[in-house]
A and B are shown apart, each in its own frame.
Chain A
Amino acid sequence: MKKKLHKHLLPALLFIFAAIAAVLFIMPTVLTITNSFMTEKEISANYGAMIESASADKKSYISEELNLKFIPDMISIQQYIAVLFKSPDYLLKFWNSVILVVPITLFQLAVAALAAYGFSRWQGRIREMIFFAYIILMLMPYQVTLVPNYLVSEYLGILGTRWAIILPGIFSPFSVYLLTKVMRRIPKAYFEAARLDGAGEWQIFWHVCMPLTRSALLSVGLLVFIDYWNMVEQPLILLENEAEYPLSVFLSQINSGDVGLAFAVAVVYMIPALLMFLYGEEYLVEGITYSGGVKG
């Protein structure tokens, strides 16, 4: 009897705990989305106290307390209209993010796919040592890698331009590591069979290896995309012109006046990442799973 109770009670408790935690986890995202449908007036009434400049020239009622609200009094797309038509700055910064992140993601995948093929198809002592060096480099925090990036950008004369972020991004070893691990799992027999059929290395790469790693490419691409979509450190150090800052950095300066449309900008910024997540959750999980275990 006691055993039976134990058997039902424990999973139930677990479920309740996990469910509460899960709700807390999506809460910030959900709140951002629901708040983006409030009118600017409602936003400044609820959150005006957070922004000193806003409370200085108050015309409408601003509560002293911040009032985190779940559901808007009145659903309105006023904020979105303001973002899309009245404040071209935000769209420009969004575009800045796109032209940094898309080339980094695509070219990093291309370079990494070639290198991973090289690392997985032929193994040798020196190449193993290089692969190990890639792992160490991958594990270095930005505080270490940004200094060499800075020096080389200065030397090449690209410091202060977008190239200073894009070029090092393309050669980041992260996806080489992940794709190598995936390709090493492909049975050697596949390659040998293609070879016997008279295929050249390039044909084997393109017609045997690539189709087999397609889902891995997608999942690595997702991880790379979100990492750079979030970037803050690199633009602050490597870009000169604030007009070229991506939205991830610019959003922090939004508070100084435009709080009325901040939530809508935040939602616009999370849409690409969120859509990728909802469509590609399985790929994301797969990609994370590949990354497990440092030993290749």
Chain B
Amino acid sequence: MRSIGAWSWLMPSLLGVLVFFLIPFGVVVYYSVLDNPIFANFVGVDNFMNLFRNTAFLRASRNTGIFSLVAVPLSVVLSLWLAFALNARIPGKSWLRTCFLCPLMVPIASVVLVWQVIFHYHGTLNQVTELFGMEPVDWLKTNWSYMVLTVMFLWKTLGYNMILFMSAIAGIPQDIIEVAELEGAGGWYKFVHIKLRYLSPTILFVTILSIISSFKMFREVYLLTGDYPYESMYLLQHFMNNTFNSLDYQKLSSAAVLLSLVMIVIIGIMFLAERKFGEDVED
């Protein structure tokens, strides 16, 4: 009886998730091993093999991967630093917090004009670097575009991550730190062996969240450069959009399945790493 009660509360959400995500995802998996939806011959991993030979897909995954590898660790480290900085005794904390959180709530589309002016060939950044005698750079149409993306990514994500770290830092038990200090532990020891360990679940979470946000950078790129960006800004979502346009179900579904597997592996590895590193301090 009680159990039936539980299910009736879950029903609306569960039905929706089944209909809009899980069942069609099953279909996606099914499509990914067929030659086409009409004749439906089983072809095993052929679609995946084709994907690995597809230059557009390779470029898109490479660009997205490189970007995430650079931007995500930077975002985690900088936001952790900011959180410690704002936790120290400095004036105007709440004012600073507001400034760092603000980009989270400002629609990307609204500030994209300012970014364009800054990173344009005749724009602000080149005017500044020129003062220091540097050659102008076409930020959006060379490999420097990775840097532009990273700046925009940090701008968007640092505030959110910082808040997560601040609440985690507040949860580190002070008595352990005091005991360590009494026993003569140095600042570095306290940081690595006590604080980081207590923060490790949050570091894990922030990293996963940042990876997901890094997959959303398509928004910025699209708003900044439209459908056809410079090739180092050709991201996975561009590939998906093009594949949607040509309605290549095999490519779409095998790409989606592959990506979901990669995400699950990444998340799994990080969970294991966190469990190992933070094992003594689990509550």
The interface of chain A, by Cβ under 8 A from chain B, is 10-11, 14-15, 17-19, 21-23, 25-29, 31-32, 35, 47, 49-50, 64-66, 68, 111-112, 114-115, 117-119, 121-122, 124, 127, 130, 133-134, 136-137, 139-152, 155, 167-168, 170-171, 173, 176, 201, 205, 222, 226, 229-230, 232-233, 236-237, 247-249, 251-252, 255, 259, 262-263, 266-267, 269-270, 273-274, 276-277, 281, 284-285, 288-289, 291-295
Query: Taking A25-B102, A251-B109, A289-B164 as contacts, is the C-beta distance between A127 and B13 under 8 angstroms?
Result: no
B-side contacts of A270, CB under 8 Å: 106-107, 110-111
Contact B90 A14 (CB under 8 A): yes
Residues of chain B in range 32-89 having any CB-CB distance to chain A below 8 Å: 82, 85-86, 88-89
Q: How many residues of B contact A (CB 8 A)?
A: 97
- Bound-state Cα–Cα, A66 to B256, Å: 41
Other-chain contact of B14, A15, A115, A140 (Cβ < 8 Å): A115
Report 20 cross-chain contacts, Cβ distance below 8 Å, ordered by A residue: A15-B90, A18-B82, A18-B90, A25-B159, A29-B103, A29-B106, A114-B10, A118-B10, A139-B263, A143-B256, A144-B263, A146-B244, A170-B16, A230-B219, A251-B112, A252-B222, A266-B111, A269-B109, A294-B208, A294-B271
Other-chain contact of A127, B10, B98, B226 (Cβ < 8 Å): B10
Contact A263 B204 (CB under 8 A): no
A-side contacts of B160, CB under 8 Å: 288
In the complex, whether B132 has a CB less than 8 A from a CB of chain A is no
- Bound-state Cα–Cα, A118 to B97, Å: 35
Q: B113-121, B141-149, B178-186: which lies at the A interface?
A: B113-121
Residues of chain B in range 224-283 having any CB-CB distance to chain A below 8 Å: 224, 226, 236-237, 240-241, 244, 252-253, 255-256, 259-260, 263-264, 267, 271
Other-chain contact of A148, B24, B108, B209, B218 (Cβ < 8 Å): B24
Contact A68 B118 (CB under 8 A): yes
Contact B164 A232 (CB under 8 A): no
A-side contacts of B256, CB under 8 Å: 143-144, 147-148
- Bound-state Cα–Cα, A140 to B260, Å: 7
In the complex, whether B7 has a CB less than 8 A from a CB of chain A is yes
Q: What is the distance, in angstroms, from B156's C-beta to the closest C-beta of chain A?
A: 10
Contact A147 B99 (CB under 8 A): no
- Bound-state Cα–Cα, A25 to B222, Å: 22
In the complex, whether B188 has a CB less than 8 A from a CB of chain A is no
- Bound-state Cα–Cα, A68 to B105, Å: 23
- Bound-state Cα–Cα, A266 to B118, Å: 17
Q: With A25-B100, A142-B215, A147-B253 given, name 18 new contacts (CB 8 A).
A: A18-B86, A18-B90, A25-B155, A28-B103, A115-B12, A115-B13, A127-B10, A130-B10, A140-B263, A147-B25, A148-B20, A148-B28, A252-B112, A252-B222, A255-B116, A291-B205, A292-B202, A294-B204
Contact B253 A121 (CB under 8 A): no
Query: Taking A14-B85, A232-B218 as contacts, is the C-beta distance between A151 and B208 under 8 angstroms?
Result: no
